[in-house]
Structure 1
Amino acid sequence: MAGSNPRSTNAQVKHLLEKIQVYEEQLSSQSAGARGSSLPSPVAPDETSGRQPAQQVSSTTGNKERPNQRQDELLYPDSDPAISPATDLTSGPAFESQVRSLLDRSHSSDYNFHESTSSFQYQTDRLPQWTSVKELVDNVAGVSFPSLEESQHLLDQFLFYLGVSQHFFDPRSFSDDLMLLFQSPVTRQRQINSPWFTEYLLVMAMAKLMDVKHPTSHTPGADLFAEALKRLPPMHHMGGEGVVAVEILTLIATYLQWCDRKHDAYLYIGLALRLAIALGCNLREIDQRCLPSQSAHRLRLWWTVYMLDRRLSSGLGLAAGADERQLQTELPRNAMGFQSPIALAINVRIARVTDDIMSSLYGNKSITQLKLVQKIQQILQELHDTGRSFPKSLMLDFNRPLKLVTRTDLRLIQHKAIILCTRPILLQRARFEAQSQQQPQSPNPAPSMLLRLCDTCEEAATRSLAILESLRQQQTIPRYGFFDLDATFSAAFVLVMVGFLNKSQSQPPPALDQASKVLQFLSHSGNLAAERRIQDIAQSYSHVWPNHIFNANTPSSDAGSHDKPRTLETSLAPRQDVLTSSDSPPYMAVASSTRGDHQDEIRLLEPWSNMDVPDAMFDMQGDWDLDLSGDAEGIYSSFHNPTLPLTGVDYIDWLEIEKVFNGP
């Protein structure tokens, strides 16, 4: 095939076959009562379905056909030295499970090794599981409905954070219905009996997650959310409710996402997506056959549902709810009385790229080396073009308060996509380095193009944390903000890996102090997911800088004030105080006073202050038109290496690296 490299392909195949042979020999030697020359199954039993391994054969049956053999299941002789094609799974969770089964079994007899490595133990029960909503809504005390004044304040909060780059409802009609709720007893009862009241409860619950003033042992808004679930129409009534049912399901998914219930959020956004398609919300405005304001709302709602579905499915490494090839919907246009659609369009564009990364780079086993590097170039170019397309109204200027969080949100999701596209190269380098330390040998120097991709990943992580720290200082970061937490963990994970590879970096980078402060700020309000992320990053941090601590339990105001192991120094803000709930300043505290003392960090943000300045992160010959094909083999193996199966899901990939750090 034109463009292929037979030598590198043969080397890769040879490497994989050698690995498989090693695993098979180890498994055979560890099996009690081995069955002659038969091979052990590389597939672990599926405990949830009761399915047994394909090669499990009774000792008395010999080579006879098994009684429960399916007609379409091929038999392979026990002497065949290859893994059955029946188990040749596509890259993804199933393939990952198969490889992990082989790796875990290969160490099953070395019990002492697992006992002596460290306090961290890689276990499948540490993988992200479906956390039930039952814990969130059970034992909720009586619901307390907001007053008119509080309702208006919470609505403002909701629109401030989620009303520009996303569209959940028509704010004009929602405000009218809100006034009717408090106008008179008659109108109030009518509103309470309508589906709109369920939507109202969900909007108020979401806003309470954004408007946390005091730490609480209960998730903010959980009482309103529980009441909304009680009022949720049964599934067979959803279609009859119309577009409001799509709005309700989307709000439920968003609340669950912010409460770290990602699997349930994935379920509800999938329902919202299918209902929106069934109701024709994905059709062009001209084909929707309704009033212009209604079609503008429906189309904006559709793209919000689409974007959230792509983002949730990518975050979990699961399939999206609709086939992109069947969607020919136009992006929304300017409409009287609605927000500009530019921010929403950019959000959708980046969500599409993120979905492309997950499906093409992580989940595509059949892609060739050349096609994969071409895809990476295409994706990075798309992200570069997206960044350059930001209008002046959405450019960041850290000399002024960030009055519109949409600006930062869009940059954060852009940087997260860059990290997702380039992080496997960084993680594979970390694996090589860790193994060379465990089995002393001189690692081969990484090619220059791989180093450039790693630098791009590091730059995206550093910029993300600079943005998040500025938001923390200005108190414009929601304390239960799901994506802010996700972006902080992802960026901190990258910088710890960079520190592990950079032997000259004896001190942790200042950006990790920003990550610590942001995570503390979120966790001090009762955000349990943030507390878990602090512990996870601290675990990785201890591998790289054992003589330093990752301020996991110490407020920033105390950092450096006691004679303890040296902690990180601040980089963007000279103040050492964490803005707690008891002394929180009003929104929009000015952060420009930090600029003079910290030019190095601010320099990274200067390209965003002027749209005429190229983005330094992609300033490689002025554009991302570099040819990566020369390092195709190294790039390909970073995404498709069975000894380090990466999924693109932050937490799962973090667990894989922790396993490497604690390996033999």
Structure 2
Amino acid sequence: MAGNSSRVTKRSLNACTRCRRQKIKCSGSQPCDGCNKRKLTCIFDDRDQKILVTRGYIDELHHKIELLQQSGERIDPVPLSPDYAEDRSPNLKEDSPQLSRSSPQEHEDPQIHNEIEDPASGLTNPLSTGPPAFMSADNGRTFYLGTSSNWSFTRRVLSLTHEHVYQEALPTGALIFDGATYDLGWDGLRSSHGSEVPAVPTFDHAMYLINVVKFRCGQLYHLFDENEFMTKLHEFYTEPKPHATTGLWYIHFLLVLAFGKGFVKHKVQGNRPPGADFFVKALQMLPGVSVLHEEPIESTEVLCCIALYLQALDCRSSAHNYIGQAMRMAMAEGMHTQMPIEYLGENMVQRCRKIWWTVYILDREMTSLMGLPQTLNDDHINTLLPSFPGSVQRTAAIGMHIKISRIIAEINGTVYAIDGRINRNFLLRTKSALASIASLADELRRAFPLHMDREISGVSRISAYLHLLYHQCIVLATRPLLFCFLKIRFESPENCVDVLNTSRTVRNLIQMCMDSSQQIICILHSLQSEGLLETFLSFDLESIFVSTVVLLMGPAIDTRWTYPFWLEKAYAIFEDIIDSGNLVAKFRRSELQLLDELLSCFPQEHPRCLSAPVSFPNGVLNNPEVPLATSFPPSTQAHALDHDILSDPGITMGGSDFTSRLTAEQIMAVADSIESIDTEWMSNAMIEHSIW
């Protein structure tokens, strides 16, 4: 083809600050075409210009740095550019109820990360790199071990420890896998042959179950529109009709009853979950997707109910699929947009906003629990927060919940990114994630105080949940380092503590992970003392599971990270949830006891060696009444670590008065301490100890 019109214009080697920030094409001229057209000041930052240097030049610079360090001179790190810091800012605008913000991973330029990466290092994050990790159950089904999954993390630690102690792979016969805890007594077919409609409770009983559902999860998630749902409920009980047990509302009603039974019924028969009859019948009656789209608003609520119930049964894959259907159905109806009130009406728009943010939050959290990448770009969302007449706090709670969910997505997309490096790139991503977390610390404490140290006020269930989720973000962002140092401990047990003490920054990051784990247990203990532990849904169980794993790993890395007091409280919380009929908690505790037994063989000065591979102690899979005294190793040394940057005189490690919180200043102090010298130290430590 002739003519200049067929040529492809080459991308400019340099871009102005404005074009780089907005991720748009820049002409490279001074001023560039875009700024000139808009009559804006065009600024080129030489620090952003890409240059090529030889490998010898980089080695020479490293050699000079080593000489300067040996001479005692301080090397000031190069600060991040203002544009990079601005792009990474996690704050949502406080002056607007609109919460539209693109995911951090969408803004990142791969070329920028390639430039800041240390080209001499091939070290990788074992939780998110290398060949995908899988584990097979006894029935032959293979499960993918997601990168950020709590379940996956524990299995990886178990496998690593078992292989080190016994030089053989971890047997999976006694382990529990996705969807294997409960038996719904249903083959999955929607045929109604041989399936009777379960007897619905009386009106008073139904009202009681519905109110329990509203109290237990209605403040966090929107599962049904109260006005429409209750209107049809009264019609159902006052005007019996031939087709009263058909239609989407009846399916919705059965699902709400299933939740109610799950919340109030503490003893189960065998391995059949409470409310299973109602839940199974609802799934059998559920029409296909093409029919659900005829009533998209209520159908999305129904799909949310199904996903949340399945999540409570530890059917994570199925729950993730159903919430994915709900997400697509909601987007197809435009719920993620600013729906026009003047055209659709106030009630419908407010209901759709409640539905959308419930779907959004559940999708973010369930995707993280699966250890999978997030699929929704926040740039496409511009709907507003719902309003609750007479309850501004509920709107604020949804806003905070959304912010924390976005931080979870940021951590998944950066710290656990594919081929994420354990050296410079990994620590910079950790630093960015901690900065996002720190931005919420003071706001969370101010807007949703816990009051755990007050006798005149109980703990708010909403506040407790938000704080638990917040501390889980800290654990999620920092526990890859814990995993790495467990590997160092196994590879070089005599040098691990010395290596760890070499970098105060890395030690403080792990200490932060430990402190947040204790905070989680402290909050759950307060809920337990007031009878507010959530024993059916998986929220509190995930929290206690995450924190206990971290505290069990601590002594294996450094015996000064020993917390018998908090482990005792953790197992007591497990017992409470198990006593309420939660079989998932029973199996989770069993895995922790197995990990406890394995780790206790190794870190002590006189390790307890086992003559044969361990199994679940005391027949725990079949006996929930396992004495707590054998559930964690005896303490030989109280916690004696200096907190360094995290030091707080209000922390009492050996008693029950653990009421201090990590402030924004403390978290940022740790984040800001991550500099180039720490990234180089991390690389050298991994190479020296031949971890990869």
Same fold (TM over 0.5): yes
Return the offset for 1:276. 0.3
SS in 2 for 1:341: helix
- Residue 419 of structure 2 is aligned to residue 365 of structure 1: yes
Q: After superposition, where does 1:148-227 map in structure 2 within 5 Å?
A: 148-186=203-241, 191-217=244-270, 218-227=272-281
- Residue 312 of structure 2 is aligned to residue 258 of structure 1: yes
Distance change (3 Å), C-alpha of 1:403 and 1:195: farther
1:485 is aligned to: 541
Q: What CA distance in whole angstroms lies between the structure 1 residues aligned with 2:688 and 2:386?
A: 41
For residue 451 of structure 1, the aligned residue among 507, 515, 519 is: 507
Q: Is the 8 A contact 1:205 1:221 kept in 2?
A: yes
Return the offset for 1:435. 1.6
2:487 is aligned to: 431
1:152-192 Cα offsets, whole Å, 9 max, x none, are: 11112111121122222222332222222212324xx5653
Return the offset for 1:543. 3.3
- Residue 275 of structure 2 is aligned to residue 228 of structure 1: no
- Residue 515 of structure 2 is aligned to residue 467 of structure 1: no
SS in 1 for 2:293: helix
Tell me the amino acid that sits aligned with residue 332 of structure 2: A
1:588 is aligned to: none
Tell me the amino acid that sits aligned with residue 296 of structure 2: G
Gaps of 5+ in 2: 1-49, 63-116, 137-145, 188-194, 602-606, 609-615, 639-651
1:546-599 Cα offsets, whole Å, 9 max, x none, are: 59999966759x656xx9998689x9xxxxxxxxxxxxxxxxxxxxxxxxxx89
Return the offset for 1:626. 3.8
Q: What CA distance in whole angstroms lies between the structure 1 residues aligned with 2:556 and 2:135?
A: 37
For residue 503 of structure 1, the aligned residue among 559, 566, 576 is: 559
- Residue 677 of structure 2 is aligned to residue 630 of structure 1: yes
Q: Is the 8 A contact 1:284 1:299 kept in 2?
A: no
Q: What CA distance in whole angstroms lies between the structure 1 residues aligned with 2:134 and 2:315?
A: 27
Q: What CA distance in whole angstroms lies between the structure 2 residues aligned with 1:330 and 1:639?
A: 47
Q: Is the 8 A contact 2:434 2:667 kept in 1?
A: no
2:598 is aligned to: 543
Q: After superposition, where does 1:257-406 map in structure 2 within 5 Å?
A: 257-286=311-340, 289-335=343-389, 340-365=394-419, 370-390=424-444, 394-398=448-452, 399-400=454-455, 402=458, 404-406=460-462
1:193-249 Cα offsets, whole Å, 9 max, x none, are: 331111111111122222233343220111110011011121211111120000000
- Residue 65 of structure 2 is aligned to residue 9 of structure 1: no
Q: What CA distance in whole angstroms lies between the structure 1 residues aligned with 2:253 and 2:356?
A: 20
Q: After superposition, where does 1:501-540 map in structure 2 within 5 Å?
A: 501-504=557-560, 508-540=563-595
Q: After superposition, where does 1:65-104 map in structure 2 within 5 Å?
A: none
Distance change (3 Å), C-alpha of 1:382 and 1:366: closer
Tell me the amino acid that sits aligned with residue 231 of structure 1: M
1:242 is aligned to: 296
1:495-549 Cα offsets, whole Å, 9 max, x none, are: 01112223246x6521111111111222233322111111111122123445999
Q: What CA distance in whole angstroms lies between the structure 2 residues aligned with 1:413 and 1:641?
A: 36
1:652 is aligned to: none
Q: Is the 8 A contact 1:415 1:464 kept in 2?
A: yes
Return the offset for 1:316. 0.9
Q: Is the 8 A contact 1:209 1:478 kept in 2?
A: no
Q: What CA distance in whole angstroms lies between the structure 1 residues aligned with 2:199 and 2:686?
A: 50
2:96 is aligned to: none
Q: Is the 8 A contact 1:191 1:197 kept in 2?
A: yes
Q: What CA distance in whole angstroms lies between the structure 1 residues aligned with 2:133 and 2:401?
A: 40
SS in 2 for 1:344: helix
Tell me the amino acid that sits aligned with residue 269 of structure 1: I
Bigger shift: residues 125-134 or 280-289: 125-134
1:121-147 Cα offsets, whole Å, 9 max, x none, are: 426889985537994242898623222
Q: What CA distance in whole angstroms lies between the structure 1 residues aligned with 2:403 and 2:537?
A: 21
SS in 2 for 1:280: coil
1:6-27 Cα offsets, whole Å, 9 max, x none, are: 65935423x78xx9xxxxxxxx
Q: What CA distance in whole angstroms lies between the structure 1 residues aligned with 2:563 and 2:287?
A: 52
2:198 is aligned to: 143
Distance change (3 Å), C-alpha of 1:601 and 1:416: farther
Q: Is the 8 A contact 2:536 2:582 kept in 1?
A: yes
Normalised TM-score (structure 1)? 0.68
Return the offset for 1:367. 7.0
Q: What CA distance in whole angstroms lies between the structure 2 residues aligned with 1:352 and 1:219?
A: 32
Distance change (3 Å), C-alpha of 1:406 and 1:46: closer
Tell me the amino acid that sits aligned with residue 193 of structure 1: T
Q: Is the 8 A contact 1:198 1:228 kept in 2?
A: yes
SS in 1 for 2:118: helix
Q: Is the 8 A contact 1:210 1:480 kept in 2?
A: yes
1:78-119 Cα offsets, whole Å, 9 max, x none, are: xxxxxxxxxxxxx969xxx9xx99xx9xx9xxxxx9999549
Normalised TM-score (structure 2)? 0.66
Distance change (3 Å), C-alpha of 1:601 and 1:387: farther
Q: Is the 8 A contact 2:565 2:654 kept in 1?
A: no
Q: What CA distance in whole angstroms lies between the structure 1 residues aligned with 2:273 and 2:419?
A: 41
Gaps of 5+ in 1: 20-40, 48-90, 108-112, 572-597, 608-614, 646-664
Q: Is the 8 A contact 1:181 1:191 kept in 2?
A: yes
Return the offset for 1:372. 4.0
Q: Is the 8 A contact 1:516 1:550 kept in 2?
A: no
Query: Cα RMSD between the aligned structures?
Result: 4.6
Tell me the amino acid that sits aligned with residue 460 of structure 1: S
Tell me the amino acid that sits aligned with residue 526 of structure 1: G
1:291-325 Cα offsets, whole Å, 9 max, x none, are: 11211110111011011111111111123342333
Q: What CA distance in whole angstroms lies between the structure 1 residues aligned with 2:354 and 2:684?
A: 40
Q: Is the 8 A contact 2:407 2:473 kept in 1?
A: yes
Q: What CA distance in whole angstroms lies between the structure 2 residues aligned with 1:42 and 1:479?
A: 36
SS in 2 for 1:477: coil
- Residue 520 of structure 2 is aligned to residue 411 of structure 1: no
